[in-house]
């Protein structure tokens, strides 16, 4: 079975991705806290894109199925990966499809183009922020952008995300990702003893507040899962 460490690491990546999208003002704190359906899709999709782009640029990722986690310096090699369970066997081939698209043409994985793909992913909403709307408009006016390939990558990432939103390990971590306190960095106390890393990962930049031991975390987590299932038609197994 794909270990909890992989999912915890991905949850941390999603938290970091959310901060980055909020800094760009392409996603708002209100959208995250209200679990806007477009944001629920966008954040994990951009997180996956980030991991794959980091992998493409990492010379140490020599095998086709190697994954480079820049967030904590982990190199997930095919030889070290545990035997695939049903979930991993479903998701990993989709992940590798996107990786191959990024590798096929060098310019696809360059920072400027990755930003274009990220904007396209985030634009799947009826109410884009002014900053995102302005960026998307600039893309539409620039005929030189490789829109066909980027559109395919966005479609593949969206498909992967919708599949991910139907598996329990990700649903179990949605309360960590979307319930995180996304206050501006200057509002957080660096040495706050009430902050801990997401369970199962070390040396992470992403942290979360400790929950009270009165069962509120479990209840809060269940509310996130219920909302996700309602939004995406997930049927509990």
Q: How many domains does the chain have?
A: 1
- The answer as to whether 99 is a domain residue is yes
**Residue 100 confidence class, pLDDT cut points 50, 70, 90:** very high
- The answer as to whether 10 is a domain residue is yes
Q: Which domain holds residue 51?
A: 4-232
- The answer as to whether 129 is a domain residue is yes
- The answer as to whether 164 is a domain residue is yes
- The answer as to whether 70 is a domain residue is yes
pTM value is 0.79
Dihedral, 84, 64, 73, 14 alpha carbons, nearest 10: -60
- The answer as to whether 237 is a domain residue is no
pLDDT (tens digit per residue) in 39-60 = 999 999 999 999 999 999 999 9
- The answer as to whether 216 is a domain residue is yes
- The answer as to whether 71 is a domain residue is yes
């Amino acid at each position: 079975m794909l270990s909890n460490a992989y999912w915890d690491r991905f949850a941390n990546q999603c938290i970091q991705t959310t901060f980055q999208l909020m800094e760009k003002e392409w996603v708002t704190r209100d959208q995250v806290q209200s679990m806007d359906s477009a944001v629920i899709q966008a954040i994990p999709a951009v997180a996956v894109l980030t991991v794959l782009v980091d992998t493409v640029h990492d010379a140490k990722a020599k095998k086709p199925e190697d994954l480079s986690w820049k967030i904590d310096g982990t190199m997930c090699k095919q030889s070290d990966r545990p035997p695939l369970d049903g979930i991993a066997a479903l998701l990993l081939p989709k992940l590798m499809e996107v990786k191959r698209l990024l590798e096929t043409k060098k310019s696809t994985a360059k920072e400027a183009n990755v930003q274009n793909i990220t904007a396209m992913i985030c634009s799947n909403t009826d109410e884009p922020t002014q900053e995102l709307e302005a960026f998307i408009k600039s893309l539409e006016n620039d005929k030189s952008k490789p829109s066909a390939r980027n559109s395919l990558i966005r479609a593949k990432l969206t498909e992967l995300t919708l599949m991910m939103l139907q598996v329990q390990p990700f649903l179990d971590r949605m309360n960590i990702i979307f319930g995180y306190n996304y206050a501006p960095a200057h509002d957080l106390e660096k040495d706050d003893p009430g902050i801990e890393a997401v369970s199962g990962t070390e040396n992470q930049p992403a942290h979360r507040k400790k929950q009270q031991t009165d069962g509120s975390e479990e209840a809060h987590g269940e509310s996130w899962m219920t909302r996700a299932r309602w939004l995406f038609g997930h049927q509990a197994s």
